[in-house]
């Protein structure tokens, strides 16, 4: 189950009042760094830019072209050492709904592979040495040493 904190909407829907959830200048700063890193060929520069947003990025992390990280709450994302985040992956630490908005830490263990175009939702933990197939939706915790695939991601086998 995802670990999320909920906050009531302050209007017709929570996204209309996003600026009450996070300082707009911080969101702009995060946006500029994350989108600059998105197409940066240098993996070490990418890691540096992500760390400037408050993300916890381990050693030897490789992030593929076009990956997108949460611009509102990147400080809630933690990626362990020696991970590969594939092409076009999306990692979210928030979700805006009609009646509320939620945030949750995204924790990725060491030696994790997340395949291309996968999405990891807020409040999810992916255990060390796990693999997520391309085009998967991770909407719940993934135990260590396992291989998950699909929408939503389901266990295929142990690694």
Q: How far apart are CA 119 and CA 70, in angstroms?
A: 11
Q: Which residues pair with 120 in a beta bridge?
A: 91, 138
The active-site residue out of 46, 47, 94, 110 is 94
- Give the other-Cβ count within 10 Å of 74's Cβ: 25
Whether 30 contacts 53, CB under 8 Å: yes
Whether 89 contacts 69, CB under 8 Å: no
Whether 7 contacts 102, CB under 8 Å: yes
Q: How far apart are CA 20 and CA 51, in angstroms?
A: 24
Q: In the annotation, is 94 catalytic?
A: yes
* Residues forming the active site: 94
């Amino acid at each position: 189950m995802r670990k999320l904190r909920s906050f009531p909407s302050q209007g017709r829907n929570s996204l209309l009042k996003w600026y009450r959830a996070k300082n707009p200048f911080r969101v702009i700063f995060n946006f500029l760094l994350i989108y600059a890193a998105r197409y940066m060929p240098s993996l070490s520069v990418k890691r540096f830019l992500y760390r400037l947003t408050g993300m916890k990025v381990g050693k030897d992390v490789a992030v593929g072209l076009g990956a997108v990280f949460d611009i509102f709450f990147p400080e809630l994302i933690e990626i362990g050492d020696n991970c590969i985040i594939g092409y076009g992956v999306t990692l979210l630490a928030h979700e805006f709904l009609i009646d509320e908005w939620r945030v949750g830490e995204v924790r990725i263990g060491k030696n994790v592979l997340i395949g291309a175009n996968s999405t990891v939702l807020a409040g999810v933990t992916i255990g060390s040495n796990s693999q997520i197939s391309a085009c998967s939706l991770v909407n719940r915790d993934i135990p260590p040493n396992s291989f998950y695939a699909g929408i939503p991601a389901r266990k295929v086998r142990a690694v």
